[in-house]
Amino acid sequence: MKRIEIPSIENLGHGHLACAGCGAAVGMRLTLKALGEKAVMVFPASCWSIIPGNWPHSSIRIPHIHAGFVTGGATASGLRAALDIRGDHETIVTVWAGDGGTFDIGLQALSGAAERNEDFIYICNDNEAYMNTGTQRSAATPFLAWTTTTPAQQPKENPKKDIMAIMADHRIPYAATVTAAYPEDFFRKMEKAKRIRGTRFIHLLSPCPPGWKIPSERTIQIARLAVRSRVFPLYEIENGKYILQEESRTVPVKEYLRLQGRFGHLTEQNIEEIQKRADEEWERLLKRARC
């Protein structure tokens, strides 16, 4: 595979307000490096309503708009139309929305935009809960995880929604999963997304130290283990075709779970059940990739 040079340009500036070790901040750095200067970004309500800093200052060095929680897909559609009317077909329109703003409350606007195949890159920054408001469960929260609304005595009963399959079923041209633990892979997929027109969907898994109850220095290690345990496989869906990246150094899900306080209440039986589900999901993906 061609070697990727990640540019030294930094468009996430000093003084941002993310927690120490925030996985999303590393993801944002990479995203902004990949996008370059000719891009605009929409932020539906999330931790990223706070992280850039107080107006009139911002640590995000490309033009950006703070938008209503539900409106990521709609705001980006309007922005694209406005740029096109001005004759600017070059500036890339992007959305950076949380899992709550994508899997749950923003799904309708995103679905409408994807069905119209609106021309933007939508990045779902998935930290698996509503973190900005104090770690409430979302449809992206994993099975049996602790959150403040799914306490350890009654952890989340439902599996994570398969947002990639939902987006692929909108017949969009491109969707991909990424984490900051695989920066070259992340960068390569962003570069590919930039070359395609229409709705492109990037699913970024971002460990969150306070919400996942992990030490801030373990963010990247845990993101890597998410991939190696096949809890979060890396793959692309190009025009409906699944392209799966086989991870050669796989580990049992236990290795991933045991480092995180949000799974601290799990019994051995719970862990076996999670392993079984991860194996079944992997088989399901493999089947799709072989079609």
Ligand X SMILES: Cc1ncc(C[n+]2csc(CCOP(=O)(O)OP(=O)(O)O)c2C)c(N)n1
By CB under 6 A, name the binding residues for ligand SF4: 18-19, 22, 24, 47, 51, 127, 131, 208-211
Identify the three-state secondary structure at position 56: coil
* 44 contacts 64 by C-beta, under 8 angstroms: no
User: Is the CB of 47 or the CB of 180 nearer to ligand X?
Assistant: 47
| Rounded least distance, CB 118 to ligand SF4, Å | 26
Site membership for Mg ion, residue 98 (CB under 5 A): yes
| Rounded least distance, CB 132 to ligand SF4, Å | 6
Sheet holding 235-238, edge to edge: 64-67, 39-44, 92-98, 120-126, 199-205, 174-179, 235-238, 241-244
Backbone angles phi, psi at 180, to 5 degrees: -70, -10
User: Is the CB of 92 or the CB of 105 nearer to ligand SF4?
Assistant: 105
**72: DSSP letter:** H
Residue 69: name its binding partner from ligand X, Mg ion, ligand SF4, none (Cβ under 5 to 8 Å by kind).
ligand X
User: Is the CB of 97 or the CB of 285 nearer to ligand X?
Assistant: 97
- Per DSSP (E only), the strands in 11-83 are 39-44, 64-67
Give the separation between CA 171 and CA 175, rounded to whole angstroms.
10
User: Is the CB of 177 or the CB of 188 nearer to Mg ion?
Assistant: 177
Site membership for ligand X, residue 98 (CB under 6 A): yes
User: Is the CB of 99 or the CB of 118 nearer to Mg ion?
Assistant: 99
Q: Residue of minimal CB distance from Mg ion?
A: 98
Helix axes 72-85, 107-115, angle to 10 degrees: 40
Q: Residue of minimal CB distance from ligand X?
A: 98
Residue 209: name its binding partner from ligand SF4, Mg ion, ligand X, none (Cβ under 5 to 8 Å by kind).
ligand SF4
Site membership for ligand X, residue 132 (CB under 6 A): yes
- Choices 60-68, 99-107, 224-232, 280-288; region in contact with Mg ion by CB under 5 A: 99-107
User: Is the CB of 20 or the CB of 81 nearer to ligand SF4?
Assistant: 20
| Rounded least distance, CB 158 to ligand SF4, Å | 22
Identify the three-state secondary structure at position 35: helix
Residue 19: name its binding partner from ligand SF4, Mg ion, ligand X, none (Cβ under 5 to 8 Å by kind).
ligand SF4
Give the list of residues 6+ apart from residue 152 with CB closer than 8 angstroms, or none.
146, 264, 265
Burial label, 56 (beta-carbon count in 10 A; 0-12, 13-18, 19+): exposed
Site membership for ligand X, residue 130 (CB under 6 A): yes
Site membership for ligand X, residue 31 (CB under 6 A): no
Site membership for ligand X, residue 45 (CB under 6 A): yes
* 236 contacts 175 by C-beta, under 8 angstroms: yes
* 24 contacts 206 by C-beta, under 8 angstroms: yes
Site membership for ligand X, residue 52 (CB under 6 A): no
Give the list of residues 6+ apart from residue 290 with CB closer than 8 angstroms, or none.
none
Binding site for Mg ion (CB under 5 A): 98-99, 127, 131
